[in-house]
Chains A and B, each alone.
Chain A
Amino acid sequence: MNEIGLKELLYKMADDLLILGHRNSEWTGMGPLLEEDIAFSSMAQDKVGQSLALYTILHQLGEQDPDTVAFTRNAGQFHNCILVELPNQEYDFSLIRHFLFDMADALRWEMLTQSSYEPLSLLAKKVRGELRYHTLHATTWMKQLGSATETSIARLQQSLTTVTPFALAIFEESPYEKEIIESGVFEGEKVLMEKWKLKIADVISQTQLMLPDWKTITPMLGGRTGKHSEHLQPMLEEMSEVFRIDPTAEW
């Protein structure tokens, strides 16, 4: 097995989940209604927990311990896609991001239940059940708000158009794509992207929203190789502020 390629896969998944988990947690106390406040907070807890499980596997492969990895790296060392680091903005933006990312994430874990790398396939079998609630939440709101009022449809449509170039970059390929596929660790980003396009098209077709023509979109790549937007570093500083005061503190 190609260990560098495997680590790259684990890092990008863990970083996506940690960063989006943190963004979701920023809705705590700010949600448009109490149930949504709780929903985004719960999904935050799930995602940060799932990232911890992935960082733990990386630690077993010789990387530093999860806290050090999560709290002491700078933006350039993170492998997350840019989509997850963008500020929350209005609720319509957060909802669209949640829908587009979690549909891909659920499919990714589903595929990983077949991974030849056992620690990952065991974890995937667990995580896939949890994600059913994330995608249920996302699709329920997409279907409701995507066919509700003129305002809700227009706002979701605008966010959908803005977010899709970032969403396509979820599937930015790694330099080790071929090795990862050949060793049976993961079927690869291309296969995942095709499955994802079908899934989201199915949900969108049940609303009054329109998906853009994929051919006209340029993916906002770079996140997987550490080239991020200006939003990641300030977020990391806020996220790790307490940890950095005393990295040796016992919690």
Chain B
Amino acid sequence: MTAHTLTTADIYAWLEEVKDPEIPVLSLVDLGVITGVFMEGDHIKVEMTPTFVGCPAMDFMKGEVLDVLKKHGIKDAEVEINFKHAWSSDNISEKGKLALKKYGFAPPPPTSEILTDLSILEHATCPRCTGTNTEMKSPFGPTLCRSLHYCFDCREAFEQFKPV
């Protein structure tokens, strides 16, 4: 057996195991909140940034990241939360957007679209029937990152991951 030299790609692969506590199909990597992995000798540093500054799940996610690193035998690990690379919903990967949709959430449209046309916020695409005959019921939903919508085509309420 040849010794494998640990790379940051390995760490990213491990971090795929850590899911958003509110959306268990979405990994932190796909969510885009892992903003850097740095290795210096045996010391591993993971940088994270919150989706929303007031996200109450941040400490929990930080703990989960440390647990996963520990599980893979890393003894000297550190997680730093900072705003060097501020999170935007554009940072959610394509795989992540697909996972959101499958889970029943409308994925966020590109933020560049809202800057030119606010009505995109008002008429989100329904994740069930893909109709756009919808209305925003409230820009605030069950968590800071989600808004409430209603679809007139399939007559179901749904949530959208907010473009921000």
Chain A interface residues (CB < 8 Å from chain B):
35, 38-39, 41-43, 45-50, 52-53, 119, 122-123, 125-127, 129-130, 132-133, 136-137
Pair A46/B121 contact, Cβ less than 8 Å = no
Proximity bits, B127-159, A CB within 8 Å = 1, else 0: 000000000011111101001100000000000
Q: Say whether A129 contacts B55, CB under 8 Å.
A: no
Q: Which residue of A lies closest to B82 (CB)?
A: A122
* Contact partner, A43, options B56, B140, B142, Cβ 8 Å: B140
Q: What residues of A have a CB within 8 angstroms of the CB of B147 in the complex?
A: 133
B84 CB-CB contact with A under 8 Å: yes
Minimum CB–CB distance from B22 to chain A (whole Å) comes to 13
Contact of A47 among B54, B56, B84, B138 (CB under 8 A): B54
State in angstroms the CA–CA spacing of A119 and B83 once bound together. Answer: 8
Determine the distance from Cα of A129 to Cα of B50 in the docked complex, in whole angstroms.
13
Tell me the complex Cα distance, A47–B53, Å: 9
Which residues on B sit within 8 Å (CB–CB) of A126? Answer: 49, 53, 83, 86-87
Whether B56 and A45, one on each chain, are in contact in the complex, defined by CB atoms closer than 8 angstroms, is yes
B121 interface neighbour in A39, A41, A136, Cβ under 8 Å: A136
List the A side residues contacting B56 at CB < 8 Å. Answer: 45, 49
Is the pair B140, A133 in contact by a Cβ cutoff of 8 Å? yes
Q: Give residues 47-93 of B contacting A (CB, 8 Å).
A: 49-50, 52-56, 82-84, 86-88
Contact of A46 among B54, B87, B88, B118 (CB under 8 A): B54
Q: Is the CB of A35 within 8 A of B164?
A: no
Chain A residues, CB < 8 A from B82: 122
Q: Across the interface, name the chain B residue whose C-beta is closest to A129.
A: B164
When the two chains form their complex, are residues B138 and A39 in contact, meaning their CB atoms are under 8 A apart? Answer: yes
Q: Looking at chain A's contact residues, is the secondary structure mostly helix, strand, loop, or mixed? A: helix
**Which of chain B's residues have a CB closer than 8 A to the CB of A47?**
54
Known: A122-B83, A126-B83. A49 touches B53 (CB 8 A): yes
Does B164 contact A42, Cβ atoms closer than 8 Å?
A: no
**A-B complex: 5 closest residue pairs judged by Cβ atoms:** A49-B54, A42-B140, A126-B86, A35-B138, A39-B140
Excluding A42-B140, A46-B52, A136-B139, 17 further A-B contacts by CB distance (< 8 Å) are: A42-B141, A45-B54, A46-B54, A49-B56, A50-B54, A52-B54, A53-B83, A122-B82, A122-B83, A123-B53, A126-B53, A126-B83, A126-B86, A126-B87, A129-B88, A133-B162, A133-B164
**Chain B residues, Cβ within 8 Å of A35:** 137-138, 140, 148
Q: Whose C-beta in chain B lies nearest to the C-beta of A21?
A: B54
Chain B residue at smallest Cβ distance from A40:
B140
Contact of A48 among B49, B54, B86, B87 (CB under 8 A): B54
CA of A38 to CA of B54, assembled, Å = 15
Q: How far, in whole Å, are A107 and B78 apart by their CA atoms in the complex?
A: 35
CA distance A198 to B84 in the complex (A): 32
Please determine whether A127 and B53 come into contact, CB atoms closer than 8 angstroms: yes
Whose C-beta in chain A lies nearest to the C-beta of B118?
A136
A17 to chain B, nearest CB (A): 10
Using Cβ atoms and an 8 Å threshold, which residues of chain B touch A42? Answer: 140-141, 144
Q: For the complex, what is the distance from the CA of A50 to the CA of B111, rounded to whole Å? A: 21
Chain B residues with Cβ below 8 Å from A39 are: 138-140
> Which residues of chain A have C-beta atoms less than 8 A from B139's C-beta?
39, 133, 136-137
